[in-house]
Structure 1
Amino acid sequence: MTFLPIALGGTELLAWRLDQAVHAPTWDSGEGSYRVGGRWNSKGVRTVYCSLDPATAILEVAVHKGFRALDTVAHIMTAVVIADVGDVHVVDPETVPNPNWLRPGIPGAGQQAFGDDLLQRHRFVAIPSAVSRHSWNLIFLASRATGAYALKFQENFALDTRLHPPTA
């Protein structure tokens, strides 16, 4: 079944995440961002990164790992229901202090501090994706959002093999 986004008449706000199968049981731990930091969090902050559509979740992983890894290593797609849309703070791109933070590149300390502050003030933060300019990510602190979302499903991910064609 394909779930309609709220904007198209769906009844739930879904967030999507793609993980290696071995990490899928702990998808909402924020362990990876805790260990190394992320675009919107400093090292030591357990931030969970999701997307507001499954295609962006795939691109967010592919930009780091490549389509080969998505084709050859088992991954799980997770869909999560956000209980109250009012808990989501939407970042207006015009309010981001440095517009380069919304473009591909290595995040700096200022960007991570900006994200850390947002995450302390809001249960969920919707912020534009750097990978796909008109797409959105949803981030949250693992501890701050407890009970404010529910797992809808997890399923095996299958990459369209045209994205990793044979070499000539």
Structure 2
Amino acid sequence: MIPLPASLGGTGTLAGWTLQDARYAATWNSGIGSATHGGRWNSIGKHVIYAALDPATAILEVAVHKGFKVLNTVAHNLISFTVTDPALVRVVQPGHVPNPHWLHPIPPNKDQQEFGDQLIDAHPFVLLPSAVSGHSWNLLVNVATALPLVTDIQFERFALDPRLRAKP
């Protein structure tokens, strides 16, 4: 279960979640995929782990690119980790993004990626609204600076609920 926030009697820790193809489990923390292809918030060459603050958003972020069929037929790992110092997370509120269209499910552009690169260069962790679910958060992890600040890494085999694949 996801720990309850401190205000509800929980632990108050900050967890990140990412869903990764099991074939690449050994390199889950390398950011090689985002460095090779670029991403919504990073340009090619920038090593970033794309995570979320909850597993459901992490799953949706992958499903939107790969589809539920792949998540149903190719082994994946759901990986969680704890950020040791939440004060090091740069929170970018929707109103602080220069172009509000960047928060919608459109292909990223060079200006958007450069904006993200600047944030990633300046902070080990960056929290931005998700384009898949505007009420959720993406956690960008700067591979160059954040990995020593990540603990309690847990891997679990991911299993897609088959009902998500049952209908065409």
**Secondary structure at 2:71's aligned position in 1?**
helix
Task: Give the number of equivalent residue pairs.
Answer: 166
Please identify, of 142-151 and 12-21, the stretch whose mean Cα deviation from structure 2 is larger.
142-151
How many angstroms apart in 2 are the aligned matches of 1:104 and 1:9?
A: 35
How many angstroms apart in 1 are the aligned matches of 2:30 and 2:10?
A: 27
Structure 1 gap segments, 5+ residues each = none
How many angstroms apart in 1 are the aligned matches of 2:128 and 2:9?
A: 22
Residue 57 of structure 1 aligns with which residue?
58
Structure 2 gap segments, 5+ residues each = none
Please identify, of 6-15 and 151-160, the stretch whose mean Cα deviation from structure 2 is larger.
6-15
Report the residue type matching 1:104 in the other structure. P
1:79-107 Cα offsets, whole Å, 9 max, x none, are 01000110111101101110000000100
Change (3 A) 1:5 1:103: farther
1:48-88 Cα offsets, whole Å, 9 max, x none, are 10000000000000000000000000000000100011011
Report the residue type matching 2:85 in the other structure. D
Q: Cα distance, 1:31 vs. partner?
A: 0.1
Q: Over the residues paired in the alignment, what is the CA RMSD in angstroms?
A: 1.2
Change (3 A) 1:147 1:69: same
Residue 84 of structure 1 aligns with which residue?
85
Whose helix fraction is larger, Structure 1's or Structure 2's?
A: 2
* Structure 1 position 129 matched with structure 2 position 130: yes
Give the conservation status (yes or no) of the 8 Å contact 2:123–2:142: no
Please identify, of 78-87 and 4-13, the stretch whose mean Cα deviation from structure 2 is larger.
4-13
Report the residue type matching 2:150 in the other structure. Y
Residue 154 of structure 1 aligns with which residue?
155
- TM-score, scaled relative to structure 2: 0.95
**Secondary structure at 2:135's aligned position in 1?**
coil
How many angstroms apart in 2 are the aligned matches of 1:136 and 1:119?
A: 16
- TM-score, scaled relative to structure 1: 0.95
Change (3 A) 1:9 1:103: farther
Task: Give the fraction of aligned pairs with identical amino acids, expressed as a percent.
Answer: 51
How many angstroms apart in 2 are the aligned matches of 1:9 and 1:54?
A: 20
